């Protein structure tokens, strides 16, 4: 009889705490024009944004739900509250943040990380940012890192208007339209030409409210020759009703600029994570994605990169861990639309305890993209016979002058590898733990040390050999 590997679910105790809402402002649940008008009024939108929200709502109402991917039947928008504002303004000092919110972020280790290893932090609680700060020396370089609402009314308002939902228009899909209608919170980053931000910026999104949605918008512009590493983290306590995350990330990487965007996503298992991320990369620019998807009930997440300038490049490294009750549909999209562009995609996925993991990708190479090169590698590990793992990669190549490689592999932990490690003195449990940890290593080595540790904490691959 073959031995089975037992891998514990991700330990979410660290993230599964909650506070009662005290004097919070909530719009009523459901979505209609009155709700959108109320959000717009609450946020003091400029007229163009008010109109944009209403146009997005019209698009949302007429667009069908996608006819592919995981089921989102359990998501009833009539029961979702699209805007919840904690009873506080935004502060640049943790001491000014209300105690329970501050305590939340303390438990998540954000202030400590800020002190030790970050150039700036934005912390969002439900629908609004409650803390935003950037180191003085980074500010002095001309780097703008602020909440999007402030930017809408400040000196960068024209820049926001020129870029907001231009990469991800509300017509992109139903939940992009929803985002356009009810977005709130999120960050705006502008890195001036030639500026290299040596240590990362981080935004952390915490959704505390039951039955609510979070719709933050992140807009980053890295100007010519500049360099930035941006980290995004997110979590929520678990409730017995559905929560929704439909954020939007738009990234502009200018000529010869470089942007690394890292995400550790650990939403609770009642969350529908229908997030949209997209990057536009100019000549010689470089976009790197590092993505860890661990939480949520259902995820549809496919960061997209458009390589618009000659010699632009994209690298994607991702891992997905689907446990009990999870249907995580993740992947990546890339469009090569200029000569000599390159892309490299490497992903790992693990399925266990009935979890469903789907890798979905799209590589498009247009007729303009002469001498483009693309490679895709995806590997999946099945840890039991009640889980599921699917791989759905696609390639559409419209020029004969390109080189494309693709490989996919699915399987279980190799008996031979376990046997070899045991012959070197390891116990069966340790051997299997080492193999699974090694399977994830391609992602963890791409993260800053403290986040790699967080990821390993998340995975908590406690191995027990058992006869099954």
Partner 1 sequence: MNNTTNVTINPLPVRTWNRLKLNDSSVDLPVPGIYARNESPVHTLPAGMGEGLDDYFRKLGVRAEENELTKETGSFCCAIRPEKGELAAREFVFHVREGAAALIRIDMDPSGECCPDNCHENSRADNLGKEGAVTAVRTLIHLEKNASVDLIQVHSPGESDLILSDTGVHACEGAEIRVFHVFPGSSGDKDGKNAKIYAALRSDLAGEGSSLSLRGGYRLGDECVLDMNYIVNHLAPSTKSDLDMRGSLHKGSRKTFRGTIDFRRGSGGSKGAELEDVLFLDDDVVNRTIPLILCSEEDVEGDHGAAAGKISPEALYYLCSRGLDKEEAARMLEEGRIAGVIRAIPERRVREDLLRKVFGEESV
Positions in the binding site for partner 1 (CB under 8 A): 2, 66-69, 360, 362, 367, 370, 380, 382-385, 387-412
Q: Collapsing DSSP states into helix, strand and coil, what is residue 235?
A: strand
| Cβ–Cβ under 8 Å, residues 80 and 242 | yes
Q: Cα torsion at 35, 38, 40, 41 (round to 10°)?
A: 170
The smaller minimum CB distance to partner 1, of residues 169 and 411, is found at 411
The smaller minimum CB distance to partner 1, of residues 1 and 92, is found at 1
The smaller minimum CB distance to partner 1, of residues 273 and 387, is found at 387
How is 287-335 classified by DSSP, letter by letter? EEEEEEE---SEEEE--EEEE-STT-EEEEEEEEEE-TT-EEEEEEEEE
Shortest distance in whole angstroms from residue 183 CB to partner 1: 23
Residue 30: C-alpha distances to residues 65, 174, 213 (Å): 17, 15, 11
| Cβ–Cβ under 8 Å, residues 81 and 213 | yes
How is 22-63 classified by DSSP, letter by letter? -S-EEPPSS--HHHHHHHHHHTT--HHHHHHHHHHHHHHHHS
Shortest distance in whole angstroms from residue 321 CB to partner 1: 16
Shortest distance in whole angstroms from residue 2 CB to partner 1: 7
Residue where the block lists tokens 């990369």: 281
The CB density around residue 128, as the number of other CB atoms within 10 Å, is 22
The smaller minimum CB distance to partner 1, of residues 55 and 388, is found at 388
Shortest distance in whole angstroms from residue 231 CB to partner 1: 28
The smaller minimum CB distance to partner 1, of residues 227 and 390, is found at 390
| Cβ–Cβ under 8 Å, residues 182 and 83 | yes
Shortest distance in whole angstroms from residue 3 CB to partner 1: 12
What are 81's strand-pairing partners?
Answer: 212
Shortest distance in whole angstroms from residue 389 CB to partner 1: 5
Shortest distance in whole angstroms from residue 358 CB to partner 1: 8
Distance CA 45, CA 22 (A): 25
The smaller minimum CB distance to partner 1, of residues 36 and 298, is found at 298
The smaller minimum CB distance to partner 1, of residues 87 and 394, is found at 394
Shortest distance in whole angstroms from residue 199 CB to partner 1: 37
Pairing of strands 243-245, 213-214: parallel
Shortest distance in whole angstroms from residue 406 CB to partner 1: 4
| Cβ–Cβ under 8 Å, residues 345 and 316 | yes
Nearest to 124 by CA among 59, 238, 195, 202: 202
Structure tokens of 404? 């494309």
**Which residues lie closer than 8 Å to 123 by C-beta, 6 or more apart?**
97, 105, 110, 129, 130, 131, 132, 203, 204, 206
The smaller minimum CB distance to partner 1, of residues 3 and 61, is found at 3
Structure tokens of 414? 């190799």
Distance CA 418, CA 399 (A): 45
The smaller minimum CB distance to partner 1, of residues 96 and 396, is found at 396
**What DSSP designation does 423 have?**
H
Shortest distance in whole angstroms from residue 275 CB to partner 1: 16
Shortest distance in whole angstroms from residue 391 CB to partner 1: 4
**What DSSP designation does 212 have?**
B
Distance CA 242, CA 274 (A): 13
The smaller minimum CB distance to partner 1, of residues 296 and 387, is found at 387
């Amino acid at each position: 009889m073959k031995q089975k590997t037992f891998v514990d679910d991700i330990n979410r105790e660290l993230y599964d705490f909650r506070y009662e809402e005290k004097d919070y402002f909530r719009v009523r649940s459901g979505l209609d024009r009155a709700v959108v008008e109320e959000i717009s009024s609450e946020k003091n939108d400029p007229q163009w944004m008010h109109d944009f929200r209403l146009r997005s709502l019209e698009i949302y109402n007429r667009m069908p739900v996608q006819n592919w991917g995981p089921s989102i039947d359990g998501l009833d928008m009539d029961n979702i509250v699209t805007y919840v504002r904690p009873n506080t303004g935004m502060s640049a000092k943790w001491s000014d943040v209300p105690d329970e919110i501050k305590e939340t972020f303390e438990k998540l280790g954000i202030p400590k990380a800020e002190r030790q290893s970050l150039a700036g932090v934005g912390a969002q609680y439900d629908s609004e940012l409650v803390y935003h700060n950037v180191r003085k020396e980074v500010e002095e370089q001309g780097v703008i890192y602020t909440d999007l609402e402030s930017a809408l009314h400040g000196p960068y308002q024209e820049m926001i208007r020129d870029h907001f939902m231009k990469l991800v228009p509300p017509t992109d899909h139903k939940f992009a339209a929803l985002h356009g209608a009810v977005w709130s919170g999120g960050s705006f980053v502008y890195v001036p030409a030639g500026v290299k931000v040596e240590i990362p910026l981080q935004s952390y999104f915490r959704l505390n409210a039951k039955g609510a949605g979070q719709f933050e918008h992140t807009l980053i512009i890295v100007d010519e020759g500049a360099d930035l590493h941006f980290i995004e983290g997110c979590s929520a306590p678990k409730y017995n009703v559905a929560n929704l995350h439909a954020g939007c990330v738009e990234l502009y990487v200018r000529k010869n600029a470089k942007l690394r965007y890292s995400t550790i996503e650990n939403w609770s298992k009642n969350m529908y994570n229908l997030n949209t991320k997209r990057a536009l990369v100019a000549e010689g620019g470089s976009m790197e994605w590092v993505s860890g998807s661990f939480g949520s009930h259902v995820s549809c997440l496919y960061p997209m990169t458009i390589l618009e300038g000659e010699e632009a490049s994209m690298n994607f490294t991702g891992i997905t861990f689907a446990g009990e009750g999870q249907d995580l549909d993740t992947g990546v999209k890339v469009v090569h639309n200029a000569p000599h562009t390159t892309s490299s995609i490497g992903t790992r996925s693990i399925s266990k305890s009935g979890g469903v993991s789907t890798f979905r990708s799209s590589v498009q190479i247009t007729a303009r993209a002469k001498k483009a090169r693309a490679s895709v590698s995806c590997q999946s590990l099945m840890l039991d016979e009640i889980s599921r793992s699917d791989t759905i990669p696609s390639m559409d190549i419209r020029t004969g002058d390109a080189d494309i490689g693709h490989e996919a592999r699915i399987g279980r932990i190799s008996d031979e590898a376990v046997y070899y490690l045991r012959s070197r003195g390891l116990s069966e449990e340790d051997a299997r733990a080492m193999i699974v940890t090694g399977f994830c290593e391609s992602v963890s080595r791409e993260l800053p040390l403290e986040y790699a540790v967080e990821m390993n904490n998340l995975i908590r691959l406690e191995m027990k050999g058992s006869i099954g």
